[in-house]
Homo-oligomer: A and B are copies of this chain.
Amino acid sequence: MTPVSSALAHLECSKCGSVLAADVIRQLCACGAPLLARYDLQKAAASLTVAELARRPWSLWRYAELLPIRDLLRYTVSLGEIITPIVPLAVIGGEIGVDDLRCKDDGLLPTGSFKARGAAVGVSRALELGVKAFAMPTNGNAGGAWSMYGRRAGIDAHVVVPRDAPAIHRYEMEAAGAKVTLVDGVIADAGKVVAQMVRETGMYDASTLKEPYRIEGKKTMGFELAEQYDWQMPDVLLYPTGGGVGLIGIYKGLLELRTIGFPIDRLPRMVAVQAAGCAPIVRAFDAGLRESQFWQDSKTAAFGINVPKALGDFLVLDAVYATDGCAIAVDDNAIADARRRVAAVEGMLLCPEGAATIAAAAALRESGWIRAGERVLTINTGNGIKSVL
């Protein structure tokens, strides 16, 4: 059998197309855009097959060829990243007129959110590249995850957090020994502080898309759901979109799998779901634009998607346009109602961001954008118990 190892080939700029060697620490391209990991897909195809997958451990590490860590035995930093379940929401589906409504529950990952995917892969790769300390801005879940995984790797975490972010996240970061800095404002303000820290100290910038590997963890969401749907993809996939890395990652992952010959019938129409109080991607989509504008005075109780301007906005919009998807905003009342209703009839406690995708599914079905009989998948990005108190 072909031995299993990463097929990582190089990094490629998502804007100017520059190609860079992968095995040194990299941040953004010189042109200012994110770098994406590219693989030798022919090499990956030699060992990553449907039959081979069936024999591998039931965790995100099963997709090793398409992950960027060269030496998994030495550098895997893991807290037990299980394949997250897809849970049918039959009652809610009936109520909103979607016969086949499901939810992939990423709240069951370590540290209670989908951020564990990015942290597991991102921190492992940082460890392999020799990173000793990193800084990042966070609305909470990413900071919690990177602090915990960072601690496990012996890498020092410096996290900068908007003062209003939920206390649970600060507790996690501090429990893991991270250096926490609070700032007034939103994540964009935290980002400015991080930029200055990085300039002054030279430490690794682990901000969203400013290092190339967090997205490689996120894309495993796409690998998993394709496998869980037995390659017969849902018609519509709704994703709560802040920085958008999950959506970009799923799209990237599905394209990679299809290219190496996995029998993916087609891509789902991808929907970027935002909060009415912070909807830059939606505004751009409605205007037919390929990039978003900074959203002034953003405000929503769904902290995870309070991102006024995402570095990867153009990649989100690319994925949405390429799959005939759309972008939609739902207001905080609709989010809270959906959250209550899903708990009350399905026995499932979603995070606000996950609940937003349910509210969006209802709105899109009502408008007719989601048609009768279509199969719809929502993503719950965090454990509902993290957003309770």
A383 interfacial by beta-carbon distance below 8 Å: yes
- Tell me if A130 is interfacial: C-beta within 8 Å of chain B: no
Q: A185 within 8 Å of B by Cβ?
A: no
Q: Assess whether A31 is interfacial by the CB under 8 Å rule.
A: no
Roughly how many angstroms separate A104 CA and B83 CA in the complex, as a whole number? 16
Inter-chain CA distance A112–B384, complex, in Å, is 10
Quick one: closest B residue to A172, CB to CB? B349
Task: Name the residue in A82, A108, A149, A340 with the highest tally of chain B Cβ atoms < 10 Å from its Cβ.
Answer: A108
Most buried by B among A80, A83, A349: A80
Say which one of A84-92, A255-263, A368-376 lies at the interface with B.
Answer: A84-92
With contacts A85-B59, A108-B110 taken as known, whether A347 is within 8 angstroms of B389 at the C-beta atoms is no
**A385 touches B (CB below 8 Å):** yes
Instruction: Encode contact with B along A145-172: 1 for CB under 8 Å, 0 otherwise.
Output: 0011111110000000000000110011
Q: Map CB proximity to B onto A171-201 as digits: 1 under 8 Å, 0 otherwise.
A: 1100111000000000000000000000000
A152 contacts B383, CB within 8 Å? no
Q: Does A287 contact B (CB under 8 A)?
A: no
Is the Cβ of B346 less than 8 Å from the Cβ of A152? Answer: yes
Query: What's the Cα separation between A86 and B82 when bound, in Å?
Result: 10
Q: Which of B80, B105, B176, B347 contacts A343 (CB 8 A)?
A: B176
Point out the residues of chain B lying under 8 angstroms from A151, CB to CB.
Answer: 343-347
Contact of A171 among B58, B78, B389 (CB under 8 A): B389
- Check B348–A79 contact: CB distance below 8 A: yes
Considering the complex, give the chain B residue whose CB is closest to the CB of A108.
B108
Cα distance A87–B105 when bound, in Å? 21
Measured CB to CB, the closest approach of chain B to A331, in angstroms, equals 21
A210 proximal to B (CB < 8 A): no
Q: CA separation between A386 and B171, bound complex, in Å?
A: 12
Q: Are A176 and B389 in contact (CB under 8 A)?
A: no
- Which residues of chain A from 326 to 354 have a CB within 8 Å of any chain B CB? 340, 343-349
The answer to whether A79 touches B84, judged by C-beta atoms less than 8 angstroms apart, is no
Q: Is A388 located at the chain interface by the 8 A CB criterion? A: yes
Residues A257-287 near B (CB distance < 8 A): none
Q: Contact at A109–B112, with CB atoms within 8 Å? A: no
Interchain CB contact under 8 A, A168 and B80: no
A347 to B80, CA, bound (A): 12
CB contacts (< 8 Å) of A152 on chain B: these are 346-348
- For residue A174, give the distance in angstroms from its CB to the closest CB of chain B: 9
Please, which residues of chain B bring their CB within 8 A of the CB of A168? 385, 388-389
Query: Which residues of B have CB within 8 Å of A85?
Result: 59, 79-82, 110
Contact A386 B385 (CB under 8 A): yes
Q: Is the CB of A112 within 8 A of B383?
A: yes
How many whole Å from A93's CB to the nearest CB in chain B? Answer: 14
Q: For residue A82, which residues in chain B have a CB less than 8 angstroms away from its CB?
A: 58, 82-85, 108
CB distance from A58 to the nearest CB of B (A): 4
Chain B's closest residue to A343 (CB) is B175
Q: In the bound complex, how far is the Cα of B111 from the Cα of A349, in angstroms?
A: 8
Contacts of A385 in B (CB 8 A): 112, 168, 172, 383, 385-386
Task: Please determine whether B80 and A148 come into contact, CB atoms closer than 8 angstroms.
Answer: no
B87, A79: Cβ atoms closer than 8 Å: yes
Q: 9 closest pairs, A vs B, by CB?
A: A80-B85, A152-B347, A148-B347, A151-B347, A175-B343, A58-B58, A82-B82, A80-B87, A171-B388
A sample of 9 cross-chain residue pairs with beta-carbon separation below 8 angstroms, ordered by A number, consists of A79-B347, A82-B108, A110-B348, A112-B383, A148-B349, A150-B347, A151-B344, A175-B344, A385-B385
Given contacts A108-B108, A151-B343, A152-B346, 9 further A-B contacts (CB under 8 A): A58-B58, A78-B87, A79-B105, A80-B87, A108-B110, A111-B349, A172-B349, A172-B388, A176-B347
